Structure 1
Amino acid sequence: GDFSVDIKDLIDLVESKSKLEHNLIKSDLNPKDRQNFASCLRISSETVLALLNRNENSKGTYVYLTLLNLIISGFINKSTAIEERLFNIWTVVFVCRLWFSWIQYLDVKNSNNNINSNNKNNNNINSNNNNNNNINNSQSPKKFKQRTFITKPAFWCIEINAHTLVYIILLVIKKKLPIDALNTFGFNSQICENTFRIARSLTGSFSSITNFSVKSFMKRCEKISVVNSIKSRGNQKGDYSFQFPQHHKNDKDTYDYSIDNIKELNLTEYDIEKIIYRAFESAQKLASMVNMSQLLKNKNIYSLPDLSQFIKTILSKSSSKIVDYTEDDDSNYDSDEDEFEDNEDSSVHAAFDDEDEMLPSIFGDDEEEEEGNIIANNLSNISQQNFRGCRIYDKINPQQMNKYFRIHVDSSVKYIHKQTACWLLSTSKTRLSSDRVERVKES
């Protein structure tokens, strides 16, 4: 539309707002670290989206990160209800379809180095390069259009997964699949990799054998299943409940194995249609927010039937082909397997273990006390008064005074724990990247 997706919007947010409001650090904005899922969670959080929505010039970034938030909620989060999961995923599908269709009608001209949307207003488009509103003369219009959209594999992935979810729901409704099949968060590769790592860790402490046969792997998976079953009943009240140890930095939802149990599915085919229509209406609102709607209306592709037919026609002409790799050489499998085993930090569960999460670490009463109580400067760039998850209080125990700083938030006086103050002042993290190539470069 009329707005660009620019990392500068997030940089301005980090520099202009307090970390207490957005929970971002500069290393979260590193575009080279593509496997940092914890940073994806932070930049697409509800607090960041709310701050971006206040800025009229950040609408493009806001819509793009909203799609990322909906994808995480629809595919990865365990606590999302199946109706909300379906709504979120299809909202992303329709926004991508509207975006893709809008790009097809862009009038790209190399002669004057301008991009004009083919409508009455001739709105300019900002490209995601250093020379906004300009096209490199050596760059063809087709390549430029490709750069103003997500990659084709990502687009296909969103479409395939959305249709697969509907198909799974229909099979569950017809009693051809168990209701546990709706736990879509268990379908991703991260869960499979995590299961394999846990199976390897079941080897004895004094054993150096890390490999095992298929039969041994199945036995270990049975043990993992029993442990997970015990964990799922761990919160039940009783005289003989198991209590598993949990690190204080880890999110409680990470180890709540009982939240993913779907007892009953009350959806019908008519309900699915209504949810998808609501998702299309939500996608239209996001498209109109960045001024895409007028061109799409002029081209008669703004309704659901017309848009679906247009996308079907375009995708049927795609040059993408299905390639049979069954006879390929297996010489590269060893390196891929090494990368698979070493990429532990990229799992979904490890994303919540990041030391820069909103909850600072909680130490016991025997924490070494420091002398002095410093009055900090006035934090005038903070608009909120309640800081859930941070140790910032209006009143504290006088005996614990040495563990806190006194700060001014606008006109009120609050007390911030020194550990929280260290977290607040940190601008980067010292952990290595989840990307293996980046880890080698950094080390």
Structure 2
Amino acid sequence: MRLAANYFVKTQILNIYNDKLSFTVKIPSGWTVWFFLSPSQLFLFMQDGAHVCTKIRNRMLSKTAELTMGHYEVSIQHLYDLIRSKNKIDHNLSISDLNVKDKQNFSSCQKISDDKILNLLMLDDNCKATYNYLLMLNLLISAYTERRVSFNDRIYYACIVLFYTRIWRIWLYITKPPRKRKLPEKKKNRKPHDSPHFITSNALLCIELNTHYLIYVYLLIEQRILPQSIAENIYLFSSQPCENVFRNARALSGVYSTRINFTISQFLKRINKLNVLTELKQFEATNSEQKIIFPVHHKIKQFLTETDSQTSFNIIDLNINNLEKLIFRAYEVAQEMAISVGMSNTLIKNNRFTIEQSSQLAKHLLQSNSLTESEVLDVDGSTDDESTDDDSSNYDEESNDITYNDDILENDDSSPTTSFENLQSTIYSGLRLKKSVSISHVHKYFAVNIHGEKLFLHKQTATWYLQEKQLRLSCDRLQRVQGKITS
């Protein structure tokens, strides 16, 4: 990505640009202070939004990271404290959501950055840095993965994260300047500019490039180079649709097959089967005679219902002035986040708090990390994962320390309903907790008493509620069948 975008790459040998084929936009002269992407691009791309989010999550869960923001530290311990002290329905978290070994667990990203978690962290002044970090993750999820977000809001959320990471990096550069030191032999493959107090350089570049390309697409639409319909489908600007096709193709293997890979010829045959199945589903959706009803999982059904009710976003007043106001408003939010954790005083003292001042140093830091073409290829080929063994042991130690109040797990047979006395929240999003259920489905629910109100809790949700760990297979298909080695 970095090489193709020519984003702070020096001595580039490979010339892939063509004057007749490349996109070219007019970038306002005042934007060159903070907008670093070249006006000519041969093609457009983004790092997959789900992968960017998992990079941010894994950095927080890593034992080797010591993320610091102003007077506060980003700590996974704050989430463990929530699990210990709060009712599970208040936060929807399980210990398995904090499993660092499951590095591709995107649902964990959604859970730990949910509004419920942010609201609980906001009540504790010691969790301000953790709140800001998870707020960044929440905004990244909204900007790059959710489909019901307007294009303007995507740019707004992405710019908040971009500017805050720049401000954060500048504060660390001033207060914790990098030192040159010799790395051990086993750590020589780690990039020397990765600070333990900051996100990885790979995640930083993903945030930089994705935000720049969002703005670049806006300019292409505004200058009528691309149609406006592109703005409604930005969420498809990722590898998830392709990965979904591969998941469906693997699902055709059947439950009795342990093979997870297949040849190109086998893949093409499975694609034909998927096409036939899709055509059959589309035909039966409008068929009124002898209709075949395909079973649909309740989560997929809810997703389809939301999709049908979705209204298309019409971008009004698509012009440079509105976009510029949006970006400056995003920078003001980033400044407020920096003020909340105490980074502003140092930045103001060193004249690095305004967008012009901070962008100047941010560009200098990116230039100092400029790589040659061969170095970019070497970095892309190296792994960006943290030490799995250390992180895994840390996760095991923390999970063993978690205990729950016996009153929560106790089943009182004398009462017709189960009571949730220590529950604080009155909004139960993400749970199958209903005020009423049909007679045909009443056997699937428990009657519970919450805040003096009789509600119905699905039995599967009740099982989740009573389990400390969710015993699920890893999201990584290469790890899910590997047993744990015990000494």
Shift of 1:32: 2.5
Deviation by residue 1:171-204 (Cα, 9 ceiling, x = unmatched) = 1222222334332221222222223444677899
Of residues 389, 404, 408 in structure 1, which corresponds to 2:446? Answer: 404
Q: Which amino acid aligns with 2:367?
A: S
The question of whether the paired residues in 2 share the 8 Å contact of 1:376 and 1:406 is answered with yes
Of residues 264, 273, 291 in structure 1, which corresponds to 2:324? Answer: 273
Write the distance in 1 (CA, Å) between the matches of 2:313 and 2:281.
16
Shift of 1:26: 0.9
- Once the two structures are superposed, the pairs formed by residues 41-440 of structure 1 within 5 Å of their partners are 41-107=110-176, 146-182=195-231, 183-198=233-248, 211-212=263-264, 220=272, 223=275, 230=282, 245-250=295-300, 252-253=302-303, 257-258=307-308, 262=312, 264-266=314-316, 267-323=318-374, 374=415, 379-388=420-429, 389-391=431-433, 393=435, 404-407=446-449, 409=450, 412=452, 414-417=454-457, 419=459, 420-435=461-476, 436-437=478-479, 439-440=481-482
Write the distance in 1 (CA, Å) between the matches of 2:313 and 2:376.
40
Distance 1:308 1:144, change over 3 A: closer
SS of equivalent residue, structure 2 residue 482 = helix
SS of equivalent residue, structure 1 residue 404 = strand
The question of whether the paired residues in 2 share the 8 Å contact of 1:391 and 1:417 is answered with yes
Q: Which amino acid aligns with 2:473?
A: L
Give ranges in structure 2 of 5+ residues lacking alignment: 1-69, 180-186, 383-411
SS of equivalent residue, structure 2 residue 243 = helix
Write the distance in 1 (CA, Å) between the matches of 2:310 and 2:453.
42
Q: Which amino acid aligns with 1:179?
A: Q
Deviation by residue 1:247-301 (Cα, 9 ceiling, x = unmatched) = 1244622675557774643321111111111110111111111111111111111
Write the distance in 1 (CA, Å) between the matches of 2:444 and 2:217.
57
Write the distance in 2 (CA, Å) between the matches of 1:259 and 1:396.
24
The question of whether the paired residues in 2 share the 8 Å contact of 1:202 and 1:220 is answered with no
Write the distance in 2 (CA, Å) between the matches of 1:72 and 1:296.
28
May I ask how many residue pairs the two structures share in their alignment? 366
Q: Which amino acid aligns with 1:98?
A: I
Which residue number corresponds to residue 5 of structure 1?
Answer: 74
Q: Which amino acid aligns with 1:268?
A: N
The question of whether the paired residues in 1 share the 8 Å contact of 2:150 and 2:313 is answered with no
Q: Say whether residues 1:33 and 2:102 are aligned partners.
A: yes
The question of whether the paired residues in 1 share the 8 Å contact of 2:194 and 2:201 is answered with no
Shift of 1:440: 1.5
SS of equivalent residue, structure 2 residue 454 = strand
The question of whether the paired residues in 2 share the 8 Å contact of 1:24 and 1:43 is answered with yes
SS of equivalent residue, structure 2 residue 161 = helix
TM-score in terms of structure 2 length: 0.63
Write the distance in 2 (CA, Å) between the matches of 1:226 and 1:299.
60
CA RMSD of aligned residues (A): 4.5
Write the distance in 1 (CA, Å) between the matches of 2:443 and 2:307.
39
Q: Which amino acid aligns with 2:454?
A: K
Distance 1:12 1:228, change over 3 A: farther
Which residue number corresponds to residue 134 of structure 1?
Answer: none
Identity %: 30
Distance 1:375 1:383, change over 3 A: same
Distance 1:153 1:164, change over 3 A: same
Deviation by residue 1:45-74 (Cα, 9 ceiling, x = unmatched) = 111111111111111111000000000000
SS of equivalent residue, structure 1 residue 440 = coil
The question of whether the paired residues in 1 share the 8 Å contact of 2:249 and 2:267 is answered with no
Write the distance in 2 (CA, Å) between the matches of 1:215 and 1:438.
22
The question of whether the paired residues in 1 share the 8 Å contact of 2:435 and 2:454 is answered with yes
Write the distance in 2 (CA, Å) between the matches of 1:109 and 1:310.
15
Which residue number corresponds to residue 22 of structure 1?
Answer: 91
Write the distance in 1 (CA, Å) between the matches of 2:434 and 2:104.
32
The question of whether the paired residues in 1 share the 8 Å contact of 2:160 and 2:331 is answered with yes
Shift of 1:387: 3.3
Distance 1:3 1:400, change over 3 A: same
Write the distance in 2 (CA, Å) between the matches of 1:222 and 1:439.
26
Q: Which amino acid aligns with 1:17?
A: K
Q: Which amino acid aligns with 2:77?
A: K
SS of equivalent residue, structure 2 residue 315 = coil
Shift of 1:239: 7.4
Distance 1:32 1:400, change over 3 A: closer
Q: Which amino acid aligns with 1:283?
A: A
Write the distance in 1 (CA, Å) between the matches of 2:75 and 2:419.
31
Write the distance in 2 (CA, Å) between the matches of 1:222 and 1:394.
38
Distance 1:226 1:440, change over 3 A: closer
Distance 1:251 1:238, change over 3 A: closer
Which residue number corresponds to residue 123 of structure 1?
Answer: none
